[in-house]
Amino acid sequence: MMQTPTLALTHARVLTPHGWRDDLAVLLDGALIAALLPHDDPRVQQGAQHDLGGARLLPGFIDTQVNGGGGVLFNDAPTVESIRRIGAAHRRHGTTGFLPTLISDDADTMRAALQAVEQALAEGVPGVLGIHLEGPYLAPARKGVHDPKFFHAPGRDELAWLCAPHRGVRLLTLAPEQVPPADIAELAAAGLIVCAGHTAADYATTRAALAAGVRGFTHLFNAMTPLGSREPGVVGAALDDAHSWCGLIVDGHHVHPASLRVAIAAKPRGKLLLVTDAMPPVGSDDPQFILNGEAITIRDGVCQTAQGVLAGSALDMAGAVRNAVQLLGLPLDEAVRMASTYPADFLGLGASHGRIAAGYQADLVALDDDYRVLHSWIGGEVS
């Protein structure tokens, strides 16, 4: 028999794995969802109740690409405190799970970032699920705002500490033409999620990398070879492959909405996920930050250098969900799954995160009709 729940979330429009329900309360037992029950079930009345007043109750958003937030850039201070501040900034916008993302840097900074995430996971810092290393094994021709002085192919020593046993998720973005398939296979065998990004690879090289263990594509369309009539490029390989996942930055600036709609039509359902590629201004009043010694400023909602090069985004996950509905015409439930359920599946966490169902982590967000976050829960703790 189920014990008395610690909290019942009532009178919400709940997004369950089977669709919207207006007649269910979500019962929490500590860090987990205990049950979904009708409001008139006696067990709903036994514990404390939180009346959500008709708000939408959603699985918490999971962002796999978070460079910064709250005025902090992870590269500048790869510490537990930075991770805590970045997570708190994004939580205000519905993100209950995230990967602090390190942009291409030197080996000492990479090691510090890996250690900081290990420690953050050990301490239970809210929301942190692992780390995303975006580089430095990237292509100069598709560098974006990354500093190419850090670019190189991984040596045996780097492969050893990247593949060492670790807590949480490790996601690595690399250019397939810069890393031999055997090394990609070694990284994948060690449990890393390997993605292609910032790459000038052709279609054949990308297909070989997929066969070796690449599981996804970092910010599809951006910083990669485009789909062409005779050379499908990285984008063509991504859209042609039924098994890989693709991250999408839906901010109205990185990718034209029509291109995003083409990708959604091409890929099987469940293989596209919303990401922010967020920079320090998210959750901060400061519109400027420094990256690789260069001032980056938000202008008209776009993070860019003085030369107009995109440098991450000022996007948050609630905004990404809103844009997926308003710019792409997606139903809200599918936009939410792209922000929660599908990222959880991509990260190998689909049995514990990304759904409102009994036994799942109580990571939730309550959203009003204007996509404003009213409340969020991480492990059953409300904010």
CB 209 within 8 A of CB 218: no
The full length of the chain comes to: 383
CB 276 within 8 A of CB 63: yes
- Residues with a catalytic annotation lie at 277
Separation between Cα atoms, residue 295 and residue 276, nearest integer Å:
20
Alpha-carbon dihedral angle through residues 28, 32, 33, 34, given to the nearest 10 degrees: -80
Structure tokens at 367: 């959203």
Q: How far is CA 336 from CA 35, 95, 275, 292, 382, in A?
A: 21, 12, 12, 34, 20
Q: How is residue 209 annotated by DSSP?
A: H
DSSP 282-336: TTSS--EEEETTEEEEEETTEEE-TT--B-SB---HHHHHHHHHHTT---HHHHH
Q: How many CB atoms lie within 10 A of CB 19?
A: 8
Structure tokens at 220: 């599809």
CB 333 within 8 A of CB 21: no
From the list 354, 355, 358, the residue with the least C-alpha distance to 5 is 358
Q: How many CB atoms lie within 10 A of CB 179?
A: 24
